[in-house]
Amino acid sequence: MSLFSNFVDSVATAVDSVTLNKQSDGLIHSVIKVNQECFKLQKLLGEGGFAFVYLAQDDKKQLYAIKVIKCVSKEVTENAKKEGILLSRLNHDNIIKIKDMCMIKEDDRSKMLYMIMPFYKRGSVQDLIDNNRKSGKYLEEGYILSLFKQVCLGVKALADYRNRQGIHQPWAHRDIKPANILLSDDGKTPVLMDFGSARIARIEIGDKKMANKIQDEAAEHCSMPYRAPELFDVKVNSKIDERVDVWSLGCTLFAMAYGESPFEMTINRQGGGSIGLAT
């Protein structure tokens, strides 16, 4: 059975049950109805590439984060489906969960994928780092290690992933960084988010075309200060695997301790330069 079969079946049903009421100011204040539940988009929380994340509220005044992906091409559509399917099958305390998802067909025949997820009011670890830096403070060592250990457990769940047939199929996030780690309301539990960069971890680079594709994907989805060296210059006959996340984890740990990634620190102390060369 195809990896996308269940998702595609659910989309066919969901599209018929979704309505989108657009206002003059775009998606802000729009109402979406997903499987008999209504969500009002209140404000934009963030954006990147073809994805936008909105704060939304349901009829019970419960807040959610809704990720909206503009499916402008077949590749973007397939990657969005992969992200939704992966998150729906992972069940881990340190990985963001999906409450629901659906595909909406617009009047112009374009498609939008909606992912409804919990809203974390504390924001991200990057927000925490930034707030501390403003007051000249650093995170406590014990707190850093507690958060970091849990993030590693979430990454391990990705590396241990098994597909529907029970076959081990490791995945890599490829964009682990403080900004992609949310904090629970009590601040004790980190939650890894934004899996738009995630890919099957183990890839053999057979030719230049594939090397360029992987390198271009990394340039688009993987933040430079946390990107593994093998993703900056992908070599033919090389292998890419889940160790790219180990590199990003190390950079993230450094940033939690010192306020920025080691390569940002190097560039800032030198007064400029290239992060790509620094790695």
Binding residue positions: 67
Active-site positions read 175
- Return the beta strands (E) in 35-128 as ranges: 37-48, 51-58, 63-71, 100-105, 111-118
For 229, phi then psi, to 5°, come to -55, -35
Q: Decide if 131 contacts 123 (C-beta within 8 A).
A: no
Q: Enumerate the known binding-site residues for ATP.
A: 67
Three-state SS at 209? helix
Q: What angle do CA 117, 79, 157 make, to 5 degrees?
A: 60
Q: What stretch of H or E contains 239? A: strand 239-240
Tokens at 137, concatenated? 């403070």
